[in-house]
Amino acid sequence: MYAMIIDEYGEPEVFHKAELEPDIMGPLDVQIKIYATSVNPVDWKVRQGRLAPRLPSRFPAVLGWDAAGVVEKVGSKVTQFNVGDAVFSRPATHRPGTYAELVVVAEGLVAFKPSNLTYLEAASIPLAGLTAWEALVEIGKVQARQRVLVHGGAGGVGSYAVQLAKAFGAEVIATASAARQDYVMHLGADRVIDYHTESFSATVYNVDLVLDTIGGSVQDQSYTVLKRGGTLVSIAKPPDAEIAQAYGVFAHWFFLEPDGKKLEALGYLFEQGKMRPAVGHVFSLEDIAAAHRLSQEGHPEGKIGIVVDPGYAMTR
């Protein structure tokens, strides 16, 4: 199969094209022919070697943790999927990734693609969407009429978190740059705070749930806007338990574990029209280095989509 691989940690220039054999299939695995994938910040952090202690790479390494395509092969004990099914997935991090024509994924990490989305749109969802789901639904227990603050509302995770909180009936406040304000409002935010000119901690209060995608001083100030008994969930850095206790709030950090059933539930919200894909930029797989530069050096709006098969990526 054709793949864009790295043979060492480094800058985007380490990517190059190669022919590889797909990962070995087990009885509970499915092999997916990938039509589209996407880029997440974790991708370039792995490429740089910054996450090597937790996510060591075996070279040559195929990165990428989003996939949308069709099932090409099924293991002998697979019961949920058949050859030809349209699916999407957030594969396991310890196996070869999705910057390739094929990926082998455990059946339990796969879900049927929302029928109203293109493969490119569906590929933007798994990692970022599941991160938002885990933070808001599983950990934060988001409910109708709660006040939710989403930091980085224009980013990949933030774009889906804003929509997810609204789908559950919450009031949503988000932080973003002035240039991204209209975009985040269009996603459903009730209020957008320009973090360049306004301090959220001076104007926001009585919040039930905060999603911290930034860390640093943003996380530190977030404690002050939460009501007692509120919840802070961070994907940026582990919160300080003593500070959380002093403010009388709950604080959590997590590293996403993929789950096909949760992805199925998330996909249902897209089929219902309660959420929509957030693809802001599109590159071909051969241009994956440029896509990494955009993710690493800029603050892209929404997700960065990657076309693997141009003949099918834009189809449903």
Q: What is the pLDDT of residue 303?
A: 97
Share of the chain above pLDDT 70, in %: 100
Q: Are residues 249 and 132 in the same domain?
A: yes
Q: What is the pLDDT of residue 298?
A: 78
Apex 128 CA angle, 52 and 181, nearest 5: 120
- Alpha carbons 203 and 201: distance in angstroms, whole number: 6
Distance CA 281, CA 209 (A): 30
- What total number of domains does the chain contain? 2
- For residues 107 and 169, membership in a common domain is answered with no
CATH number at residue 163: 3.40.50.720
Over residues 75-98, the mean pLDDT reads 98
pLDDT for res 144: 98
Confidence of residue 232 (pLDDT cuts 50, 70, 90): very high
Q: Pick from 301, 263, 277, 300: which is nearest to 90 by CA? A: 263
Report pLDDT digits (tens) over 4-26: 999 999 999 999 999 999 999 99
- Which of helix, strand or coil describes residue 21? coil
User: Strand 303-307 relative to strand 279-284: parallel, antiparallel, unpaired?
Assistant: parallel
Average pLDDT of span 86-100: 98
State pLDDT tens for residues 157-167: 999 999 999 99
Percent of the chain whose predicted confidence (pLDDT) is above 90: 98
Assess if residue 237 is contained within a domain: yes
Q: Are residue 121 and residue 9 in the same domain, yes or no?
A: yes
| Farthest CA pair distance, the chain | 59
Give, in order, the Cα–Cα distances in Å from 248 to each of 44, 147, 252.
36, 17, 13
Question: What is the reported pLDDT for 200?
Answer: 98
Helix ranges restricted to H, 30-155? 41-48, 119-123, 126-133
Name the residue range of residue 169's domain: 128-253
Model confidence at 243: pLDDT above 90: yes
Q: 36 and 114 share a domain?
A: yes
Residues 281 and 237 in one domain: no
Residue 32 lies in a domain: yes
User: What's the whole-model pTM score?
Assistant: 0.97
- Fill in the amino acid letter for 15: F
Q: Are residues 132 and 249 in the same domain?
A: yes
CA atoms of 297 and 268, how far apart (whole Å) = 33
Residues 6, 85 share a domain: yes
Residue 271 resides in a domain: no
115-157 residue pLDDT tens:
999 999 999 999 999 999 999 999 999 999 999 999 999 999 9
Residues 104 and 143 in one domain: no
Q: Which pLDDT belongs to residue 299?
A: 78
What is the sign, positive or negative, of the torsion defined by CA atoms of 118, 124, 129, 132?
negative
Q: Can you tell me the mean pLDDT for 92-112?
A: 98
Cis bond leading into 60, ω under 30°? yes
Answer yes or no: do 111 and 150 share one domain.
no
In-domain check, residue 68? yes
**263 found inside a domain:** no
Residues 98 and 152 in one domain: no
In a domain, 106, yes or no: yes
Lowest mean pLDDT among 80-94, 160-174, 219-233, 292-306: 292-306
Residue 63 CA to residue 240 CA, distance in Å, equals 31
Phi-psi region of 37 (alpha: psi -120 to 50; beta: other; left: phi over 0): beta
- Same structural domain for residues 100 and 180? no
User: Does 178 map to a domain?
Assistant: yes
According to DSSP, the β-strands at 2-5 and 16-19 are: antiparallel
Q: What is the CATH number of the domain that holds 34?
A: 3.90.180.10
The answer on 116 and 32 residing in a single domain is yes
Contact present, 29 and 302 (Cβ < 8 Å): no
Domain membership of residue 259 (yes or no) is no
Distance separating alpha carbons of residues 314 and 316, to the nearest angstrom: 7
